[in-house]
Structure 1
Amino acid sequence: MKRKILSFFVIGMMILSICNIHSTISYASGVNLIIGRNADVPVFEPGEEVRFAIPIENIGADNANDVIVSLDTSDLEKFPFVIDKMATTRRISSINAHSDEDAVFYLKVALDAEAKIYPIKVDIVYSTEMGGGGQISQTVYVKIENNRKKPSLKLMDVKFEGDSLLSGQSTTMKLDIRNEGESLVKDLKISLEGLKADGIRMDGYMEIPKIKEVKAKHFQVVPIKLYADENLKSGTYELELSMKYKDEYNHEYEQKTKIYVPVEGVSEQELDFGFENLTYPKEGVNTSEDFTIAFDLKNLSEKDAKNLKVSVDGGSEILPKSPSIKNIKSLASGKSVYLEFVFFAKDGIESKNYPIKIDITYGLNGSEENHSISQYVGVYLKGDNSKLTPKIIIDDYNYGKEYIKTGEVFPLTMSFLNTNKNTAVRNIKVSLTSEGDTFAPVGSSNSFFINEIGPNARKKRNVKLKAKVDAEQKVYNVVVDIEYEDNTGKQYSAKETIGIYVIQEVRFETSDVKIPSDIFAGEPCALSIDYYNLGRGILRNMMIHTEGDFEIKDGSVYIGNMEAGKDDYYDVTIIPKKEGKFNGKIVFKFEDAVGNPHEIVKDFEINAQKIEEPPMPPEGMEMQKPKTSKRWIWIAGGGLLALGIAIFIYRKKKKKAEEVTIDE
């Protein structure tokens, strides 16, 4: 009996144990949390304040209480957010069975966060209603995209004082640099590569100062003083500009770009000289009388001049009495040397102001090439004008307008000037001849007589001429032969030439406007007109258009140039909107050979009729079928015949092509 009771007790304890085990397993599996299932990877940008929501789903049968969600920040180098709070945890009071909640973190993305995908470990601790609890860990992902432009420096311009470097001199080069990026540039260090001691180098031992910062989208001008070696030849020399800098997160960058430096060598540089304390005769100088020109020649340049040669030249009328060439071995910058030259004038020259040329030839240190500059001094000489030959010239002429039309009679006015200031001329005969006899005198011969023209005086004469009808359009020369005597009876002759522009007269004609006999309101109507260039000249830039109180289809047309003797036609379609009479005009616009505008207007009138509808048949009677016009029968037959011929030709060509293909 005792053994049975003991057996029942053991069996009962085992049943209770099994029930307790079942109860424990059911409790532990009652909460099942899943992090971020079916959620998209969030995308953020550096510097952005974001709402980072982590979805947590409870797919178990029991509620999860006191849910603590934490972000793992053990490795901050792999954590893209700024930690500005003491804790990166969020508490959710409960997540019911078969429901979900978001653990929301308000964070700021680090400005220096790299653009990539970051794994974020999420730890969750929770409790259950039965007094138990659990924890899980899972990794979610965050994507950082950096759409902001990194700091980027761009060399916008390079400027030089005087547009280039001069060999042997220092020049300031200015670099215009712009920050094209959207963030700050700091600690900018600039250097030049390619500098040489015997080429282009920095002036002295100065370094280019470091630039503290360049704001986004701002310019920075960097002056650099360079020196070009005195033996450097003209050309463009290449340097490399290196720019090293940091962004606001101390990321380092380096950019390089080419700079091309223009150099003007010694051989192309010119010196500047001054003629100081210049003395020369201010009053008139008589012939055979000595006079002096003297001055201090000063080197106004920054370079020394060598092998100077100073020469003077007064032409054939003024001759040197002292040596006309003086040599100077060197003339330092800012120094001067005194020079003096003595001249005299020949007998029998005309009284007037004569130029005397002073020419300076020099060289430069470092170059074998010579340069020269010139200066002129004017001296008035009193000559014997009584011995000068009297001359007659045409000092003015006109024919009343800019051009003459063919066949036109026009007055030609000429002014004859005696250039001698002391001697009169007389018995003057003037004869006119023209190229190809283009101009014929009207009412007189081609010659006329002038009794006398006093010293430095003028006489005007007028002749009537007529241009040939068939003359070509161009400038024709009229030759004026002049025969005359001085007061001693000595005979002279002169020849003058004047030009007269001849153009062809415009002769533009048109036919009457061709108008159809029947015009109906609302129906298109075709008008046409013929036009002709009957002249000998070209008509340029011709345009034709139609105007009127009706609709005009494609009424304006540009013809361009119309050659002489050509003809053409113009057609236009108009549509009168209603019945009645309407006035219109066709306008021709063009330019002649010399650019004068012309406008020809051709007026016309149309009478638009109303379209009459066919009468309705009496009630009870069928409308008779219209008889087919024989004209349309012929047109249809002709069309069928043309179609048949086209088909026959097409088949014949096709068959021939096939035969050729077979032969091949």
Structure 2
Amino acid sequence: MKRLFSFLLSLMLLLSGISFNLTRVKASNGDAISKSKDIASVDMPITPIDTSTYMATLTIVEGDMLKFSAGDLIKVPVAIKNIGSHAAKNLIITPDLTDKECPFTLEYGTLSKAIETINSKETANIEFKLRIKNNVAEGMYPLKLNFKYSNVFGDKAVTMVETINVKIVNDSVMPKLQLEKITTTPTDIKPGEKVMVDFVVKNKGTIEAKDVKVVVDGIGKNFVIVNNSNSQYLGTIAGEEAKNIKLELQAADNIEKGGQAIDLKLSGKDIPEETYKFFVNVGGGGANLNPKLIIDRYSFQPKLVRAGQNFDMNLSFFNTNANKSVKNIKITLTVDEKTEGSGSVFSPVNTSNTFYIDEIPPKGRVEKNITMFTVPDAKAKTYTLTANFEYEDEDGKELKATELIGVPVVQQTKLEIGNIELPPEGFIGQPIPINVQFYNKGKVTLSNVMIELKGDFSTENGQYFLGNFEAGNSESYDGSVIPNAPGPLKGTLVFSYDNTAGEHVEVKKDFNINVMEMPAMEPGMDNMPPDMKPATSKKKLIISSSLFLVTVAGFIIWKKNKKKKGMTLDE
């Protein structure tokens, strides 16, 4: 009977979760029952679990550079990976389009995307349909994504911001107004007569020109505008569209004979003002007009003159007089501005700054091509080159005139990249740190500076958008490559920027590293929590990772010693 009672008591204690050793119970039946009651009445403490620490860690998987054209309806792919050990629930991703400089707009539909669950080590793919604005300048633009999610226990939501860099090219041509097809009726007038001027204003761009206005200027006392003001508002001109304008003028009674110049100024919203000249030919009567010599057209090759280089300047000299020729023409080119180190900004190559033209007939034109050199320390700006004319008319009368030429100068850019610092070896799936210093040794700011890691590998901080990089400054870039296969691994660091001429420049630097297999862990141990793994497995993991840690530690120590040596040398 006693043995049966002891068996039943042990069974009760086991069911209640309490370990009890019956071999130590030597009391009577009553004592045994009393002790069992005391043990059953003990309250076991329960430690609460903080579930808010079981949060996912999300990141955007970097892929190829996204490149789109201005004005396009685009699909922006986003790959979101959970690199943590816990799942993410009820994820909401919303692009931030509130910035005034943001080139993206929502075309239709909802802006946010929802994902119910992303488990540990899983990747979810979504895309956003957006429209790029038409008038966006070419460059690199950040697209900010706001993340909000919770864990599987429904704890307080986590918020974070990730950024995708998007390159936008603009194949569209910005609006540009041009004066075309000028005709006068009649073609030749007398003093006091009226003349109807027809001309065409064309938008040479593919994007519409807004708030277009035409202003008549430079008529002086030679003409008056009939039944109109000197300003006409044309409104909007679509891309590659033309509008016809009529202008009625009346010549003064004392107007001189010959070609009389009139200026037309064209302007629009966000469009620089352009001034064009046209001529009304005046025949009989009036005073005897002296022949006028002007520069009616000039151009440069290249279009933007670079400091420290030669450029070809083509000049067209036009005799506005319809009856008289000009002869013995001497033209001298001068520039008033000088640099501190080099003197005059421009100097002719293999010739002097003065040249001679024998004769230009009535309504005739002569072109000259001159090679000029721009000093290296010329600042980036538009300089004024003065052309001084000395010439004679048919009767030998000496005349003088002056014309101004605007020469746009841009400075050379010089981005210098230091040696790439990285460990000599790495392991599959393990980040390999990469560091490099770079310097702007030019004299102008580089804009839209972007650094990219390219190769057959995954990356961390594989794209870095610096923005503007001022002259004389230095920066450093830190990123990581994550190899996917063993063997020699080749990669490229690509530095890109826009120079002052609006050109997109790329500078590349290659690197190599040897990748080895990571020693394998025991089967099934990689998915177990750290506190559940046997001590022997932990030791094996530490031993298998030691070589990688020593390699990275050695690289960091080498880098610090190198910097310390560099400081000693500088001192």
Same fold, judged at TM 0.5 (above) = no
Which one scores higher on RCO, CA 8 angstroms, separation ≥ 6?
2
When normalised by structure 1's length, the TM-score is: 0.37
Q: Please tell me whether Structure 1 or Structure 2 has the larger radius of gyration of its CA atoms.
A: 1
- When the two structures are superposed, what TM-score results if normalisation uses the length of structure 2? 0.43
